[in-house]
């Protein structure tokens, strides 16, 4: 990738001369889609980032919100990023450095990282290459996260043919700021302050990573683009985490930015641009690990585990002392000015441009968008219900993801009250006496079938996940992944997921604090599905939450199922059932009052009579019930009810905004949801360890061991 002719002309017009080689390379990276959001920024105004709890909204390294506290005011940070292209080229290092990057985004706000979420998307599980990428990515995430002592507590894993040539690795991080005075932003404060580079030494790894992430993956990307992939060192990152804490403790940092996309040039120019300032930087002052590096390499290398700090002159030596204590490099690379962004190298000025123009001067793209068409009803015929149950429950998409999360240390820091495998993880923020429920994910089947409605369902599902644990949705960040936006059908689908996600988050009154956009996820295999990963947190008093497993002692209710009302049509659009057996259908209709449904679910989940709660989504009711039984507890379910839908649609339809509740007070649940969402009596839980389902056209019966055997497919195939 190189600076386009039109961009080159804009740069020449602004500078009044030809750009130097270093300037051209810096503009190429900072004006790339990855950094400048040129195709997506016009759409992002759809998101509502306002709210009384919002402290720092979009535009910084991470968003910041206040959370309820029984003591001093407490903040959390939320950030998310993608490392898609690097993870295709080098799955281990690509995924590992994605974790490192989002953790440093957390550090740059003055926060301590307390939880990670990974949302992963690969090609068909049956393909050897998909499994190679899957295993490498999970190993990279587990290695980095475990080494730095930050628990990976939630996430999602999906398999879909259209990720074969371009997997997605989206990683979110939550950080804790237990004193508002510790908050730091990326806005440079004052001319005369020094700029320090602290952390790992700079090498040549990751050169051009931002521009690499802004173009389609070529057939030979796994070999040709390897130099653009960063190499991580989690042990240095752990030292950087603790050093950052020490620096914040002593109030030594005026502003901060982690070195990610576009390296030193990106971090330092963005900091001063946010403050309406400039900088003088001497590149030869950078501490490096490779000899004979040139100006562009110093500027654009994306070597990991590095932070850029603005520091008052009188505090420079103390910062160096702390860095040295943690065996980290620290170099004074320049100072903040009120002029241009200027970089010199060996006595020569190699960059001299307005910082604001570097960061915000790229023009946005006005691209044509083709409206997605609604899928017609063309359902498969003659599918046996037992065959369907076994195929859907045993699909890698809906099967147990224990193989993934057992590789992560989710107990480090001793905060995880509800561990991975449930609808949402619940973290104990003891400093505030608050439980923090955390959910993250998307469903490519949904957004392939219907980008707008599928994205609305993604937002509602994540909100339902935290509400089912008794937490009120509080804030979110998103990672919006799409293919080549220059293709009208691809851009139309991308626009659909943006609008759908924004609309449902606004309906649910969940501010979106920021996020990440990753486009050009396209390869010789074609574009990826439009994929709107949402990472959402909810808050609650205390840390206790109802489990998703049955106790065997209560009645079973299904809340939110429009298809069981008798006047609504059960639909299979976007379902795993259709992914297994072929065909198409319209996407399920959503609830009329999703906000009231979520609010009511929070109250019901926290009621003493509630014994278990489980979101109904991927794989439909069949998968939800299969996940709820155990050797100690089973269920007898009756779905022989009047409906416009078939038994297959009732079992396998994937309307979001539904939950199965086990309760000892069914009448109270019906009363709570009266006028909010339909409630259907499913049957009862028992101690049989067997799931029995009565349907109009046949019965199903599976014991816990049979269900576990179906759901064990990933573990069975990989170990």
Q: In what order do the strands lie in the sheet with 698-703?
A: 610-616, 658-663, 555-559, 679-686, 634-638, 690-695, 698-703
Cα distance between residue 259 and residue 211, in whole Å: 15
Helix (H) or strand (E) segment spanning residue 660 = strand 658-663
Say whether 84 counts as a known binding-site residue: yes
What DSSP character marks residue 584? B
Say whether 83 counts as a known binding-site residue: yes
Give strand pairing partners of 344. 282, 349
Q: Is 34 a catalytic residue?
A: yes
Say whether 541 counts as a known binding-site residue: no
**Active-site annotation holder among 34, 548, 614, 618:** 34
Say whether 478 counts as a known binding-site residue: yes
Nearest by Cα to 639 from 692, 688, 590, 601? 692
C-beta separation of 672 from 623 below 8 A = no
Say whether 189 counts as a known binding-site residue: no
Distances (CA, A) of 682 to 358, 530, 630, 660, 661: 60, 35, 18, 9, 10
Say whether 410 counts as a known binding-site residue: no
Cα distance between residue 208 and residue 653, in whole Å: 44
Phi and psi at residue 403, to the nearest 5°: -55, -35
**Active-site annotation holder among 8, 83, 129, 614:** 83
Q: Is 548 a catalytic residue?
A: no
Cα distance between residue 150 and residue 85, in whole Å: 24
Say whether 251 counts as a known binding-site residue: no
Straight-line distance from the first to the last Cα atom of the chain, in angstroms, rounded to the nearest whole number: 41
Residue 320, classed as helix, strand or coil, is helix
Say whether 516 counts as a known binding-site residue: yes
Say whether 515 counts as a known binding-site residue: yes
Nearest by Cα to 356 from 479, 231, 270, 437? 270
Task: Label each residue of 507-561 as H, E or C.
Answer: HCCCCEEEEEEECCCEECCEECCCEEEEEEEEEEECCCCCCCCCCCCCEEEEECC
Cα distance between residue 667 and residue 608, in whole Å: 14
Nearest by Cα to 159 from 133, 121, 185, 190? 121
Say whether 636 counts as a known binding-site residue: no
Say whether 69 counts as a known binding-site residue: no
Say whether 105 counts as a known binding-site residue: yes
Say whether 211 counts as a known binding-site residue: no
- Annotated binding residues for substrate, written as ranges, equal 82-85, 104, 230, 302-304, 518
Residues of each annotated binding site for Mg(2+) = 81, 105, 258, 516
Extract the annotated binding site for ATP: 37, 478, 515
Residues marked active site are found at 34, 83
Known binding-site residue numbers = 37, 81-85, 104-105, 230, 258, 302-304, 478, 515-516, 518
């Amino acid at each position: 990738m190189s600076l386009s002719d039109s961009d080159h002309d804009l740069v020449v017009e602004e500078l009044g001369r030809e750009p130097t080689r270093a300037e051209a390379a810096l503009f190429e990276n900072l004006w790339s889609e990855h950094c400048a959001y040129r195709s997506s920024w016009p759409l992002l105004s759809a998101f509502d980032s306002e709210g009384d709890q919002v402290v720092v909204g979009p535009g910084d390294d991470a968003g910041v919100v206040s959370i309820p506290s029984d003591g001093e005011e407490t903040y959390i940070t939320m950030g998310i990023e993608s490392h898609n292209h690097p993870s295709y080229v080098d799955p281990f290092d690509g995924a590992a450095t994605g974790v490192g990057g989002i953790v440093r985004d957390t550090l740059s706000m003055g926060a301590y990282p307390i939880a990670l979420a990974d949302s992963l998307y690969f090609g068909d599980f049956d393909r050897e290459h998909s499994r190679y990428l899957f295993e490498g990515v999970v190993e990279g995430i587990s290695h980095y996260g475990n080494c730095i002592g930050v628990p990976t507590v939630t996430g999602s894993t999906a398999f879909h043919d259209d990720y074969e040539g371009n997997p997605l690795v989206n990683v979110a991080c939550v950080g804790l700021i237990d004193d508002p005075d510790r908050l730091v932003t990326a806005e440079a404060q004052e001319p005369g302050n020094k700029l320090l580079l602290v952390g790992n030494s700079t090498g040549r790894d990751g050169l051009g990573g931002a521009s690499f992430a802004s173009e389609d993956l070529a057939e030979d990307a796994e070999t040709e683009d390897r130099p653009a992939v960063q190499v991580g060192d989690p042990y240095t990152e752990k030292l950087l985490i603790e050093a950052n804490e020490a620096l914040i403790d002593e109030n030594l940092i005026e502003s901060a930015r982690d070195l990610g996309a576009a390296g030193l040039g990106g971090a330092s120019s963005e900091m001063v641009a946010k403050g309406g300032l400039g900088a003088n930087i001497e590149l030869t002052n950078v501490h490096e690990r490779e000899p004979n590096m040139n100006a562009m390499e110093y500027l654009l290398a994306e070597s990991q585990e590095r932070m850029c700090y603005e520091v008052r002159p009188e505090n420079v030596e103390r910062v160096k002392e702390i860095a040295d204590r943690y065996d980290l490099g620290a170099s004074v690379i320049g100072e903040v000015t009120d002029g241009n962004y200027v970089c010199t190298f060996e006595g020569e000025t190699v960059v001299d441009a307005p910082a604001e123009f570097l960061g915000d001067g790229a023009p946005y793209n006005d691209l044509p968008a083709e409206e997605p068409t609604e899928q017609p009803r063309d359902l498969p015929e003659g599918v046996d219900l037992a065959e369907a149950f076994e195929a859907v429950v045993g699909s890698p998409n809906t099967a147990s993801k224990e193989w993934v999360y057992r590789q992560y240390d989710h107990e480090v820091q001793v905060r995880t009250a509800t561990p991975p495998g449930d609808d949402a993880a619940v973290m104990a923020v003891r400093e505030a006496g608050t439980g923090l429920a955390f959910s993250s994910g998307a469903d490519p089947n949904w957004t392939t079938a219907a980008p707008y409605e599928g994205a609305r369902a993604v937002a509602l599902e994540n909100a339902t996940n935290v509400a089912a644990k008794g937490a009120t949705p509080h804030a979110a960040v998103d990672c919006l992944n799409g293919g080549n936006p220059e293709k009208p059908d691809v851009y139309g689908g991308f626009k659909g997921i943006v609008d759908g996600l924004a609309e449902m988050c606004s309906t649910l009154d969940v501010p979106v604090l920021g996020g990440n956009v990753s486009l050009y996820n396209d390869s010789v295999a074609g574009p990826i599905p439009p994929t709107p990963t949402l990472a959402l947190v909810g808050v609650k008093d205390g840390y206790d939450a109802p489990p998703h497993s049955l106790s065997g002692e209560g009645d079973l209710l299904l809340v939110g199922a429009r298809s069981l009302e008798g006047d609504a049509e059960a639909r299979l659009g976007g379902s795993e059932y259709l992914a297994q057996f072929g065909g198409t259908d319209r996407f399920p209709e959503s609830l009329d009052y999703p906000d009231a449904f979520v609010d009511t679910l929070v109250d019901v989940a926290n009621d003493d009579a509630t014994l278990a709660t489980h979101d109904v989504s991927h794989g439909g009711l069949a998968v939800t019930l299969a996940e709820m039984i155990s050797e100690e507890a089973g269920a007898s379910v009756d779905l022989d009810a009047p409906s416009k839908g078939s038994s297959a649609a009732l079992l396998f339809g994937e309307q979001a905004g539904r939950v199965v509740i086990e309760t000892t007070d069914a009448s109270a649940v019906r009363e709570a949801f009266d006028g909010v969402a339909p409630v259907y009596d499913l049957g009862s839980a028992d101690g049989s360890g067997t799931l029995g389902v009565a349907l109009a056209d046949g019965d199903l019966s599976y014991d816990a061991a049979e269900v576990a055997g179906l759901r064990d497919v990933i573990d069975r195939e990989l170990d």
